[in-house]
Amino acid sequence: MANNISPLAHVDPAAKIGDGVTIHPFAYIDADVEIGDGCEIMSYTSIIRGTRMGRNNRVYQGSIIGADPQDFRWKGQPTHSVYLQAVIRSCCSACSISSLAWGWTIINFLSSFMLLKMGCATKK
């Protein structure tokens, strides 16, 4: 299945994009990001380095995914966020987890205007 990536989106050449992915205008995809097959990234969304998305995630407008941890112990170490068939509604901010804690943030659903930070794991 072909990808549908808007020419108005920024997708770093080092990002790995799966098959059948839709990326809407004004989305930002950083380097060291993996987006799995069938994902949809809507406008004004930022997907930050270290984020790993499995298949069939939907990220709605204005969300920031994989931002730096809100952990005073974090000093720039690698971070990771994993999304598995997640629905991330509009204007959510999901911060990565520092490797000082668990090392991974795993998300399945976030409602609009939520902030998810270090050490959280959610599932359906």
Q: Identify the residue with better confidence: 64 or 8.
A: 8
**Contact of 47 with 29, CB cutoff 8 Å:** yes
pTM (predicted TM-score): 0.76
107 class by beta-carbon count within 10 Å (0-12 exposed, 13-18 middle, 19+ buried)? buried
Q: List the structure tokens of 59.
A: 């990220």
Average pLDDT over residues 91-96: 68
Question: Mean pLDDT score of the chain, rounded to an integer?
Answer: 77
pLDDT of residue 119: 43
